[in-house]
Amino acid sequence: MKNIKVSLCHCFVLILTVFTFFSCSEDNAPEQKADYNLLGITSVTINGSRIPVKADGVLLDLTDSKNITGIGSLSEPYKKHFEVEYAILTKDLSASSVEIQSKYPDVSINISHVVTSPSVITWIAKITREGYSESVIYNLSFFDPSLNKMFLE
């Protein structure tokens, strides 16, 4: 009986050791912090006005932009994904435009727009770079205050 207990104890220790050995691998190493400067975004041009990007490589420097405001952001550091939303007041929705500049030729910039209401057009820009996990999405919503009762009241 004593030998059976000792054998079971040895088996348990052996199984625990093997489990511990295989569960501790390099795959569990913490991810590196996201570096959005790898996307090389230098500026975003909105309605012909060039807006520089801050040192973090994502957020727009709105110091000289009176008709643009940041309205929200979503950061997923472990996925290396950042999403930011801006609201832009404009007098002509049909003339709204967005361009994004990167200093790297292998950066993919996909821009599309959606008419969400008669007084709002949203441009969505997705930026990725081949070989890197970092990604950024800009949601740029253009509002015409003359078409929106909320602004008139």
DSSP-assigned beta bridge partners for residue 101: 43
Confirm whether 121 is domain-assigned.
yes
126/141 Cα distance (integer angstroms): 15
* 3 state SS for 58-120: CCECCCCCCCEEEEEEEEECCCCEEEEEEEEECCCHHHCCEEEEECCCCEEEEEEEEEEECCE
DSSP state of 53: B
148/117 Cα distance (integer angstroms): 10
Q: Which domain holds residue 61?
A: 30-152
The pLDDT value recorded for residue 146 is 83
Decide: helix, strand or coil at residue 16. Answer: helix
Q: Mean pLDDT in each 10-residue stretch from start to end of the chain (153 residues)?
A: 53 52 56 90 95 94 92 89 95 92 96 89 96 96 79 48
* Cα separations in angstroms, 81 against 38, 102, 127, 134, 135: 13, 17, 10, 6, 5
Confirm whether 65 is domain-assigned.
yes
The pLDDT value recorded for residue 32 is 82
pTM of the prediction? 0.75
Domain count, the chain: 1
Confirm whether 47 is domain-assigned.
yes
Confirm whether 24 is domain-assigned.
no
The tokens for 133 are: 């996990």
